[in-house]
Structure 1
Amino acid sequence: MWNEVDIFQKRKINFNQLIPYGFIKKENQYIYTQNLLNNTFQVIITIDSHSNIHSQVIDLAFHEEYTNFRIKQQAGDFVTQVREELLAIFNDIKEQCTTPQDFIFPQTNRISQYINNQYHVSPQFPWENDFESGIFRHPDNQKWFALIMNINKKKLNGEDKNIEVINLKLNQEDISHLIQQNGFYPAYHMNKKHWITISLDDTLLDQDIISCIDKSYQLTHPVHDWIIPANPQYYDMFHCFDHDDTMLWKQSTHLYVGDVVYLYITKPYAYILYQCQVLEIDIPYNYHDSHLQINRIMKIKRLKTYQPDEYSLEILKRYGIKTLRGPRRLTPALKNALHQ
């Protein structure tokens, strides 16, 4: 079946170009008319404010709609001429009044634009003859943090229609919670323990999807190792993990989920006490007194506890750590030693 909508797939209507092209605006619609085949037919093209496109072909001799050109089985010379003239008109409108888009559906393109604006990453289409599946790679390590696909919703136990979806990497706790909600599904074609599929058919608000994108980006970020000093005058460092292996900690630099943090207890002890992993970041927090100001915190999990003689300040100096006045990255030599 001949369908004008297919011609405008992956195109964005430039409404400011429609009137100069010849469209007439009536209420919330733009209407364009042109005669075909030596004035024997007339095409009426309507574009509404949501970019929906509809057309009618009128037989001017009988003043009734002509639909044979839409029927695939109709293949005579006459109907072929009608199709060719219509296609030329639509292609010209596409050229003059639209701009290319990476994806078909409006929410998908809004999400893709967010990723580009926020992380300066554009989709890649690496598969031959598949221009609908776009991957987004982390710029620091080229790992995927998002995959957009066009699939039939029946594959997600939905209705029989094509939609675009995005696959994102999340932690298992988030996945098990989200797939109970409408619009979230166990990952299609990816590891269901670590990935989730989200529909991009405006079932969900953009912001709900964006928060998942940000988490996926963090989870696929290269892991960095930090050493962070902790003053025992202000923190009960020796008992902070007595009841739970996780705790909230002041965040004074930008870290990512998955980063490894070594808590160094300052004088009079002066040694690395804990190895921890970052579970959550940028949690809003408002605290200040005469000694301390905290605007955000992170959630960390203890992985290991060290003995005082393992990584004392004297030993750290051998690995290039001379002083510790604030959070800093590990030197390569210290990183290798700690990872061993």
Structure 2
Amino acid sequence: MATIQFKDSKVNLDKLAKFGFIKNGAVYEYQELIVNNQFLLKVTVNKDGNIETKVIDSETKAEYVLHLQPGATGKFVTKVSNDYQSVLDKIQAACYEKDVFKEPQVRDIIDYINDTYDSQLEYLWKKFPHNAIWRRGDTNKWFGLLSVIPKSKLGLDSEKSITVMDMRADSEIIDKLVDNRKYFPGYHMSKKNWYTIMLDGSVDNQEIFDRLQASYDLAK
């Protein structure tokens, strides 16, 4: 048996049922034949999204584990491993959602933007999984950007990682806002049209919500 967690992801229980999982008590179970029906892959998911898998030989009913051994080689074990991983990849794509940003203030902002602007975070860069953007649905223009960076990138004397948010504003407003304590020049974007804040409570939620509206309006 193997235990798996998909990094930076959370399970959507409703999507498990649509995929073909069957609820059995507190867990969801799924089975699929792999390797030309030679093996039965059993997948169990609990409410927290943690996964347990078993690969059972269809003929002997014994559990097969070679695909889990890092040093195992050969065409057959590679085929088992590839089919096994293909099923897990399908489950992750169909039943799991990105869950990168977990800090309370960040979650508040994500929920607010979803409710207010019907905009979902988009993860555009595979090489940068901790960067994501929001965009207007009518113009496709960005109005917010989330990133995880060291504080030193903002000119602060610390290498501690922090989640930051970039928003749009008129250049005159940015000139007045930036104090390099709560408000910083745009880190990822044009410093003329964007500014950055740390989502550590230094700027309260209501102030961020008010400024979000201005950023959203500028993304016309």
TM interval, shorter chain, is: 0.5 to 0.7
Quick one: which of 53, 74, 95 aligns to 1:98? 95
Task: Report the RMSD for the aligned CA atoms in angstroms.
Answer: 5.3
Checking the alignment, whether the CA contact within 8 Å between 1:19 and 1:25 is kept in structure 2 is no
Note the alpha carbon deviations across 1:277-312, whole angstroms, 9 max, x for none.
xxxxxxxxxxxxxxxxxxxxxxxxxxxxxxxxxxxx
Secondary structure of the residue aligned to 1:116 is helix
Listed as ranges, the matches of 1:237-316 within 5 Å are none
1:1-340 alignment to 2 at 5 Å?
5-6=5-6, 13-15=12-14, 17-18=16-17, 21-26=20-25, 28-34=26-32, 36-37=34-35, 41-58=39-56, 61=60, 63=62, 66=65, 68-93=66-91, 98=95, 101=97, 103-105=98-100, 107=102, 111-123=109-121, 133-136=131-134, 145-149=143-147, 157=160, 165-168=163-166, 172=179, 175=182, 189=187, 195-198=196-199, 210-211=205-206, 213-218=208-213, 220=215
Alignment match, 2:173: none
- The separation in 1 between residues aligned to 2:51 and 2:140, in whole angstroms, is 38
* Percentage of pairs with the same residue: 19
Letter of the 1:13 counterpart: N
Structure-2 change in CA distance of 1:35 and 1:152 (3 Å): farther
Question: Which has the larger Rg?
Answer: 1
Q: Which range moves more in the overlay, 78-87 or 114-123? A: 114-123
Q: Does structure 1 retain, via aligned residues, the 8 Å contact 2:132–2:145?
A: yes
- Aligned CA distance change for structure 1 residues 25 and 111 (closer, same or farther; 3 Å): farther
Give 1:258's aligned residue.
Answer: none
Alpha-carbon deviations, 1:58-80, whole Å to 9, x = none?
568594561x4245554421211
Q: Is the 8 A contact 1:42 1:58 kept in 2?
A: yes
Q: Which letter does structure 1 place at the counterpart of 2:17?
A: L
**Aligned 8 A contact 1:44 1:57 in 2:** yes
- The structural deviation recorded for 1:214 is 0.6
Q: Displacement of 1:36 after TM fit?
A: 4.4
Q: Where does structure 1 lack aligned partners over 5 or more consecutive residues? A: 159-163, 177-185, 224-340
SS of the equivalent of 2:182 reads helix
In 1, distance between residues paired with 2:55 and 2:207? 45
Q: How many aligned positions are there? A: 191
For residues 173-198 of structure 1, give each alpha carbon's deviation from its aligned partner in whole angstroms, at most 9, with x where no partner exists: 9829xxxxxxxxx999458xx52333
8 A contact 2:119–2:134 mirrored in 1: yes
Contact in 2 for aligned 1:146/1:216 (Cα 8 Å): no
Deviation for aligned residue 1:81: 1.4
Higher relative contact order (CA 8 A, sep 6+): 2
Tell me: CA distance 1:109–1:43, structure 2 relative to 1, closer, same or farther (3 Å). farther
Q: 1:34 to 1:151 in 2, by over 3 A?
A: farther
**One-letter identity of the residue aligned with 2:24:** K
Q: CA deviation at 1:118?
A: 0.8
Contact 2:67–2:81 at 8 Å: present in 1 too? yes
